[in-house]
Every structure is written in structure tokens, then in C-alpha cells.
């Protein structure tokens, strides 16, 4: 007869259909270490409340440790009859302790347990996600340092706009991931609240000590309201937003890498270890890592939508719908931990085709703004300067010339301010170096950013 945690008032057993619908142990089994840590904390509190003797506490803690070992070694496994992780672990405890095992459930419900387990799991794994983000940032920064001086065509609307330092562009992605890390760090403050002690929803009549449990489990405080404690899944939804945002950032970086690796761009060459081939076309080298980063952002966004949709309209407090919180959360963590190392490796090992990038940096009259700004420095209203340079561009297009190839006469015809020395600003390194105000693409500013970002990353 399968062991259930709620058999007392039922005469018949549950139908197979209900059992199959209800079971969650196939996905919540990963909460074992957190559930057992919370159980140890609860056992100590029961002991201090005089509800477990010294000897009972010792045997209880010993059995919980042994159960953890047995789970880790695969010696203790959930059976098809175990509804969830809590049911399975109580069975394990009863197997080890007999009736003493049944004492641990006093003052505790699966409702406050599961909320506690999920918070513990997420706070733990959020730290791992941050470490993987730092590794990706480190890879981006190493490339940025190599390419602070490398000019690339800077784009808006995917059209050549103005030359930029390729390092500057890579660091733009690092800033996005740094905000993601900040978000997770900030999230953790709100996630660090312990629901244990709330019981099913109303707290317990037993003299428990939720603050002591909170402290033992590394939380900053116990939940101040037992109903909120078991109903609240903000921490999961907020984490899923952070994960979705990371997904969006990975997707945008992934899309850029797909473009850069294309025959049309040829800005980078991917390392063999981070690219794939075709089963039919022998010449192919595909950016699957970047594409999967782009593709998997869809499920990260979907996980957030899934949980928000589950939560909306739920009355207080615990409802079984809340069991649906776990798969999106686990999937988000798993997805990030798959994608981040692959992207870090792809970025760290890609070879940049500096010559190709630099030679196309001025293409598409990308230095036209530099010319217009020179005229402004000579007292011309920007409106007129914009117009004059616009004329030059059309003239160049019609005559198949570059701005730098115009003769003195051709320049003078458009504006008296276009003297021969204006050609001095028509060079890419000059255009980069000139953008030297805070936040600009000048290589010196890129190096400043690197110093500041490295400090920020080290502080994380």
C-alpha cells in the first residue's frame, strides 16, 4: 500500500488518473538537499521546543544525513508511489527511524516546506548563474581588450552609420550582462525570506522558532505573514524575468555573432570546437551555438509567461496550481547553465578578421558625420553642414567616388568651408579617437570602461 501523507480520513485510495496527475516527484526530486537541510533546521527547533529529546534529535539528524548520502549515491530513490519529494523523503526517514520519523512533521506542512525548498534551490543556483555570467563577461572583455583599437562599421538599422571600436561594441554587451547580475543580486535580497513556520497557512500552535530556522538556512528573516509565506511566488516570477532578460541579451549577442560569421560580414571565424557542420554540404561551418542561444531565449520568455499565468487569479493561500511553479523555474536554470558556458567558449575562441572589419569601417560614407561636425567647428550651422555633406555624398555616389577622393574643386563647389584640409578628418582612427567624451567609442575610453567593468566584476 503506497504511503501517503494524507491517508487518514480517506476510505478508498486515489484513482490512477489522479495519481498520475498529481505526481511531481519526477521533477521535484532535485530539491532533495534543500528539503533535507530544512528538515534538519526544523528538527532542531522541535528539540528546543521540548518536542524531541536529546537522543531523538541526535537520531533524527543522523538519519537525515544518512538519507542525504543515500540519495546522493542513488541508493535511495523515489518510487512511482511517492507523490512528491516530501513524501519520498518521509518514507526514507520512516525506514530509518520507525515511528520517530513521524515526529518531524509536527508544526510543518508541505506548503511552507515547498516554498522554502524552492527559495533555497533558486538562491543557490542563482549564484551559479552569476558565475557563468561572469565567465561570459570575462571572455567578452578579453576580446574587447584585444580590439579596443580595431575599427568596425558601427550600425543603426543594420546600415553602416559611424565607425566604432569593435571593443566598444563587445563591451556594450558586457554592460547588459552586468545589469543582469545586478538584478539577480538585488533579487536575492527579496528572495532571502524563510516561509518555514507558516505551516499550511496560519502558523503553528507549537512553540516553534521561525527566525532561528531562517537563520540556520541562510535566510535574512522569517516571513512576517504566514498566509503570504505560502502563497507568494514573486521570488520565482522575478527570477524568471531576470532569466528571460538574460535570454534576450544572449539572443541579441547570438544574432550579432550569426551575422558576423556570415559570408557577407566575415568579421569573425568561429573555432571548430564551437561550430557545427552540415550532413550534406561539406564546406559548411554553422553558428549553432549562437543560434541556440537565440532560440532558447524563447523558452526563457515562455517560462516567465507560464508562471505569471499560473499565478494570476489564484486566491490566497496555497493552491495546488502552485505545483506548476517548479518546471519553468528548473527549465530556466537548466537552460541558462547550458547556454552561458557555450557562449563564453564561442566568444573566447572566435578569431576576429581585423583587416576585413577595418577596411569596411568607412564604407557607406560612414565618415560623413565627421565632415559635418568639422564644418560646425568652423562656425557653420549644423543644419547647413548636414545639407552640404549630403550633397557631397550624392555626388560621390553618382561619380563612384569616396569622400576622400574628391578634388579641391569638387569640395569648394559645395561649400566655401570645404577647404582641402577637411580631408584630415576623413580617416577612421581619427574618427574613433575624436569621440573621446565619457561613454564615447575612443579607444582610450574603451580602456577606461574595461578598468571600471573589471572592478565591478571582481566586486561581484
Answer yes or no: are the C-beta atoms of 168 and 357 closer than 8 Å. no
Q: Report the C-alpha gap between 407 and 420 in whole angstroms.
A: 8
DSSP labels, 284-328: --B-HHHHHHHHHHHHHHHHHHHHHHHHTTPPSS--GGGGGGHHH
Looking at residues 10 to 29 of the shown chain, list those that interact with ligand ARG (rule: CB under 6 A): 24, 28
Mark the segment that binds ligand ARG (CB under 6 A) among 39-47, 149-157, 314-322, 400-408. 314-322
Q: Report the C-alpha gap between 347 and 335 in whole angstroms.
A: 18
Mark the segment that binds ligand ARG (CB under 6 A) among 13-21, 42-50, 319-327, 331-339. 319-327
Which residue lies nearer to ligand ARG by CB, 28 or 373?
28
DSSP labels, 254-271: HHHHHHHTSTTT--EE--
Mark the segment that binds ligand ARG (CB under 6 A) among 7-15, 169-177, 315-323, 330-338. 315-323
Element (H, E) at 456: helix 443-458
* Binder of ligand ARG out of 169, 323, 335, 441 (CB under 6 A): 323
Mark the segment that binds ligand ARG (CB under 6 A) among 53-61, 67-75, 97-105, 106-114. 106-114
CB of 29 to ligand ARG, least distance (A): 11
Q: Per-residue contact track with ligand ARG, 57 to 96, x per CB under 6 A?
A: ---------------------------x------------
Tell me if residue 278 is catalytic. yes
At 268 the three-state DSSP class reads strand
Contact residues for 220 (Cβ-Cβ < 8 A; gap 6+): 189, 192, 193, 214
Answer yes or no: are the C-beta atoms of 242 and 187 closer than 8 Å. yes
Cell of 16: 490512477
Q: Of the listed 220, 278, 359, 391, which one is catalytic?
A: 278
Site for ligand ARG contains 318 (CB under 6 A): yes
Which residue lies nearer to ligand ARG by CB, 34 or 177?
34
Site for ligand ARG contains 111 (CB under 6 A): yes
Answer yes or no: are the C-beta atoms of 140 and 174 closer than 8 Å. yes
Q: Of the listed 15, 157, 205, 279, which one is catalytic?
A: 157
CB of 104 to ligand ARG, least distance (A): 16
* Binder of ligand ARG out of 45, 322, 346, 428 (CB under 6 A): 322
Check whether the bond before 317 is cis (ω within 30° of 0). Answer: yes
* Binder of ligand ARG out of 36, 37, 97, 114 (CB under 6 A): 114
CB of 282 to ligand ARG, least distance (A): 50
CB of 84 to ligand ARG, least distance (A): 4
Ramachandran angles phi, psi of 132, nearest 5°: -70, -35
Site for ligand ARG contains 306 (CB under 6 A): no
Site for ligand ARG contains 251 (CB under 6 A): no
CB of 114 to ligand ARG, least distance (A): 4
Contact residues for 57 (Cβ-Cβ < 8 A; gap 6+): 43, 44, 46, 47
Using H for helix, E for strand and C for coil, what is the string for 46-106? HHHCCCCCHHHHHHHHHHHHHHHHHHHCCCCCCCCCCCCHHHHHHHHHHHHHHHHHHHCCC
The site that binds ligand ARG (CB under 6 A) totals a number of residues, namely 10
Mark the segment that binds ligand ARG (CB under 6 A) among 108-116, 277-285, 357-365, 413-421. 108-116
Cell of 156: 543603426
* Binder of ligand ARG out of 40, 91, 108, 110 (CB under 6 A): 110
Residues catalogued as catalytic: 157, 278
Using CB under 6 A, list all residues that contact ligand ARG. 24, 28, 84, 110-111, 114, 318, 320, 322-323
Amino acid at each position: 500500500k503506497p504511503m501517503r501523507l494524507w491517508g487518514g480520513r480517506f476510505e478508498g485510495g486515489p484513482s490512477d488518473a489522479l495519481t498520475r496527475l498529481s505526481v511531481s516527484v519526477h521533477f521535484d526530486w532535485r530539491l532533495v538537499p534543500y528539503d533535507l537541510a530544512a528538515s534538519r533546521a526544523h528538527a532542531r527547533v522541535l528539540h528546543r521546543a521540548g518536542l524531541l529529546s536529546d537522543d531523538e534529535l541526535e537520531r533524527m539528524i543522523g538519519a537525515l544525513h544518512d538519507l542525504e548520502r543515500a540519495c546522493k549515491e542513488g541508493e535511495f530513490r523515489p518510487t512511482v508511489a511517492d507523490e512528491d519529494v516530501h513524501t519520498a523523503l518521509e518514507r526514507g526517514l520512516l525506514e530509518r527511524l520507525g515511528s520517530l520519523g513521524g515526529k518531524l512533521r509536527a508544526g510543518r506542512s508541505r506548503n511552507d516546506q515547498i516554498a522554502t525548498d524552492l527559495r533555497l534551490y533558486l538562491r543557490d543556483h542563482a549564484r551559479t548563474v552569476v558565475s557563468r555570467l561572469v565567465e561570459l563577461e570575462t571572455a567578452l572583455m578579453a576580446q574587447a581588450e584585444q580590439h579596443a583599437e580595431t575599427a568596425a562599421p558601427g550600425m543603426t538599422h543594420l546600415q553602416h552609420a559611424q565607425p566604432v571600436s569593435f571593443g566598444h561594441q563587445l563591451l556594450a554587451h558586457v554592460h547588459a550582462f552586468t545589469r543582469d547580475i545586478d538584478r539577480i543580486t538585488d533579487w536575492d535580497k527579496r528572495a532571502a525570506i524563510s516561509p518555514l513556520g507558516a505551516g499550511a497557512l496560519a502558523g503553528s500552535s507549537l512553540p516553534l522558532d521561525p527566525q532561528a530556522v531562517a537563520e540556520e538556512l541562510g535566510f535574512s528573516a522569517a516571513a512576517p505573514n504566514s498566509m503570504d509565506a505560502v502563497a507568494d511566488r514573486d521570488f520565482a516570477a522575478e527570477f524568471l524575468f531576470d532569466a528571460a532578460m538574460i535570454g534576450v541579451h544572449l539572443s541579441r549577442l547570438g544574432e550579432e555573432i550569426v551575422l558576423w560569421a556570415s559570408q557577407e560580414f566575415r568579421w569573425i571565424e568561429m573555432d571548430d570546437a564551437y561550430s557545427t557542420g552540415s550532413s550534406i554540404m561539406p564546406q559548411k561551418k554553422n553558428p549553432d551555438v549562437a543560434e541556440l542561444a537565440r532560440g532558447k531565449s524563447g523558452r526563457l520568455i515562455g517560462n516567465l509567461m507560464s508562471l505569471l499565468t499560473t499565478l494570476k487569479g489564484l486566491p490566497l493561500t496555497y493552491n495546488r496550481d502552485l505545483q506548476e511553479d517548479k518546471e519553468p523555474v528548473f527549465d530556466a536554470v537548466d537552460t541558462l547553465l547550458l547556454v552561458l558556458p557555450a557562449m563564453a567558449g564561442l566568444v573566447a575562441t572566435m578569431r576576429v578578421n581585423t583587416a576585413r572589419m577595418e577596411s569596411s569601417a568607412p564604407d557607406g560614407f560612414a565618415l560623413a558625420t565627421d565632415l559635418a561636425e568639422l564644418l560646425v567647428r568652423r562656425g557653420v550651422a549644423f543644419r547647413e553642414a548636414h545639407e552640404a555633406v549630403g550633397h557631397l555624398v550624392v555626388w560621390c555616389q553618382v561619380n563612384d567616388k569616396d569622400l576622400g577622393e574628391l578634388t579641391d574643386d569638387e569640395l569648394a563647389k559645395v561649400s566655401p568651408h570645404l577647404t582641402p584640409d577637411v580631408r584630415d578628418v576623413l580617416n577612421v582612427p581619427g574618427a574613433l579617437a575624436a569621440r573621446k567624451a565619457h561613454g564615447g567609442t575612443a579607444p582610450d575610453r574603451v580602456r577606461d570602461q574595461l578598468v571600471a567593468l573589471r572592478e565591478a566584476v571582481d566586486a561581484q
